[in-house]
């Protein structure tokens, strides 16, 4: 852990609770590139190990991250045993970007064998449980698909509801397989009463699946009493988040500030990109042309050759029914009416 990595978090304060100080089931960290989302996840995970070491009293004052938790932990450090440290480490899990989980074809047979031979659970009951877990994941992603079976080598097979043909998990996209593997792993590993950190869960996922990621994790959290903290760049995930889940990180004067965004759920993606992600939603050429058009409209210069040329180009690029062009047409009509009345 390098102290220099955390200078951006000087005088930093963030909470992961609701208005009643109850732990939120899901927290979504959003913000522009460089706002410290991944660094924050890494710091939470690293500090979960460091804060309980005997050397804490010597290094704590050197850290700039001021979680409210620190003040409560420091005075109890001398009483914490080595077994307590291990337990704290186990209570926070971190899925980093690109982390390779154990292949589902490997860990699923291991899990089934363990349940059957170590815990003496009948195979039919174990398979029923696995089916329920997978169907619980799939119902949010693709209600037209259901789990069918697995073979002796750990291959999973699915089928279209109402159909006879089945297909292998290998026929799913990389993102779909990764998501199913990750969530299924969390179910099978019996992860309960823990904080789970996930960096960029949207990677390799189709946008239609990104919209449903949070609901899948909400279902898991509800059943297993966990808290999941996600760092994301996906406007689809941000737009599907409940307002109380969202924490927006912003870099101000070389330090990070956090804001609670109260209007995320259901926001149009262009508003999310501009208001939260700080991104430009149009290509620069289109933005420039729209800016020129707007300035000409303000001057009531909408009959000039320049205006007509640029307007024609925008209609070709955006389409005549584009919402921005339609709104500008209303503005032009209003201005023309005012000009004629005067």
Using CA atoms, how far apart are residues 312 and 260, in angstroms rounded to an integer? 42
Q: 31 and 85 in one domain?
A: yes
- pLDDT of 143 reads 63
Contact of 68 with 15, CB cutoff 8 Å:
yes
* Domains of the chain: total: 3
Q: 269 and 242 in one domain?
A: yes
Between these two residues, 246 and 321, which has the higher pLDDT value? Answer: 246
Q: 174 and 106 in one domain?
A: yes
Q: How many residues does the chain have?
A: 342
Instruction: Give the lowest-confidence range in 87-101, 119-133, 185-199, 262-276.
Output: 262-276
pLDDT, one tens digit per residue, over 56-88 is 444 344 444 444 444 443 333 334 343 433 444
- pLDDT of 26 reads 96
Using CA atoms, how far apart are residues 185 and 163, in angstroms rounded to an integer? 28
- pLDDT of 16 reads 92
Using CA atoms, how far apart are residues 142 and 144, in angstroms rounded to an integer? 5
User: Taking 90 as the threshold, does the pLDDT of residue 229 lie above it?
Assistant: yes
Q: Per-residue DSSP letters for 113-158?
A: HIIIIIS---HHHHHHHHHHHHHHHHHHH-TTEEEEEE-TT--EEE
Using CA atoms, how far apart are residues 192 and 179, in angstroms rounded to an integer? 19
* Exposure b/e, 302-340, CB count within 10 A at least 16 = b: beeeebeebbeebeeebeeeeeebeebeeebeeeeeeee
pLDDT, one tens digit per residue, over 155-172 is 778 887 776 678 887 887
Phi, psi of 51 (to 5 degrees): -60, -20
Query: Could you tell me if residue 64 is inside a domain?
Result: yes
Q: 132 and 174 in one domain?
A: yes
Q: 67 and 12 in one domain?
A: yes
Domain span holding position 309: 284-340
| Mean pLDDT of the 322-337 span | 79
Q: Which of 177-181, 242-246, 307-311 has the highest mean pLDDT?
A: 307-311
- pLDDT of 29 reads 93
Query: Could you tell me if residue 314 is inside a domain?
Result: yes
Query: Could you tell me if residue 217 is inside a domain?
Result: no
User: Taking 70 as the threshold, does the pLDDT of residue 336 lie above it?
Assistant: yes
- pLDDT of 342 reads 57
Using CA atoms, how far apart are residues 272 and 270, in angstroms rounded to an integer? 5
Instruction: Give the lowest-confidence range in 29-43, 276-290, 292-306.
Output: 276-290
Q: 200 and 61 in one domain?
A: yes
Query: Could you tell me if residue 211 is inside a domain?
Result: no
| Mean pLDDT of the 127-151 span | 79
Query: Could you tell me if residue 209 is inside a domain?
Result: no
Query: Could you tell me if residue 231 is inside a domain?
Result: yes
Phi, psi of 100 (to 5 degrees): -90, 110
pLDDT confidence band for 44 (50 / 70 / 90): confident
| Mean pLDDT of the 125-147 span | 80
Instruction: Give the lowest-confidence range in 195-199, 230-234, 244-248, 259-263.
Output: 259-263
Q: 230 and 87 in one domain?
A: yes
Query: Could you tell me if residue 214 is inside a domain?
Result: no
Query: Could you tell me if residue 8 is inside a domain?
Result: yes
| Mean pLDDT of the 318-333 span | 81
pLDDT confidence band for 248 (50 / 70 / 90): confident
Average pLDDT of the chain to the nearest whole number: 75
Q: 137 and 114 in one domain?
A: yes
Q: 266 and 289 in one domain?
A: no
User: Taking 50 as the threshold, does the pLDDT of residue 4 lie above it?
Assistant: no
- pLDDT of 102 reads 61
Q: Which two tokens stand for residue 144?
A: 């037209």
pLDDT confidence band for 268 (50 / 70 / 90): low
Q: 83 and 200 in one domain?
A: yes
Q: What share of the chain is helix, strand, coil (3-state, %, to 5)?
A: 50, 15, 35
């Amino acid at each position: 852990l390098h102290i220099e990595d955390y200078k951006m978090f000087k005088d930093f304060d963030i909470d992961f609770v609701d208005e009643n100080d109850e732990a939120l089931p899901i927290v979504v960290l959003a913000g522009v590139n460089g706002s410290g989302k991944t660094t924050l996840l890494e710091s939470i995970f690293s500090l979960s190990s460091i804060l309980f070491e005997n050397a804490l009293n010597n290094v704590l004052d050197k850290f700039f991250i001021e979680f409210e938790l620190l003040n409560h932990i420091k005075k109890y450090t001398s009483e914490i045993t080595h077994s307590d440290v291990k337990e704290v480490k186990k209570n926070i899990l971190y899925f980093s970007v690109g982390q390779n989980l154990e292949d589902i074809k490997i860990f699923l047979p291991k899990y089934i064998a363990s349940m059957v031979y170590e815990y003496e659970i009948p195979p039919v009951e174990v398979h029923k449980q696995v089916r329920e877990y997978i169907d619980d994941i799939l119902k949010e992603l693709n209600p037209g698909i259901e789990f069918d079976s697995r073979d002796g080598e750990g291959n999973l097979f699915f089928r279209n509801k109402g159909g006879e043909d089945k297909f292998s998990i290998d026929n799913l996209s990389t993102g779909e397989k990764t998501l199913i593997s990750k969530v299924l792993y969390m179910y099978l590993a019996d992860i309960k009463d823990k904080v789970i950190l996930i960096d960029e869960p949207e990677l390799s996922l189709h946008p239609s699946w990104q919209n449903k990621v949070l609901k899948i994790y909400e279902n898991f959290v509800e059943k297993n009493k966990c808290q999941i903290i996600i760092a994301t760049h996906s406007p689809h995930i941000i737009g599907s988040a409940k307002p109380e889940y969202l924490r927006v990180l912003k870099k101000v004067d070389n330090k990070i500030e956090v804001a609670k965004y109260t209007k995320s759920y259901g926001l149009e993606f262009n508003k999310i990109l501009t208001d939260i992600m700080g991104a430009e939603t149009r290509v620069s050429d289109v933005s420039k042309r729209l800016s020129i058009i707007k300035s000409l409209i303000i001057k009531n210069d909408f009959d000039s050759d320049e205006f007509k040329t640029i307007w024609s180009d925008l209609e070709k690029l955006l389409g005549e029914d584009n919402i921005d062009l339609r709104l500008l047409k209303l503005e032009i009509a209003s201005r023309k009416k005012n000009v004629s009345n005067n």
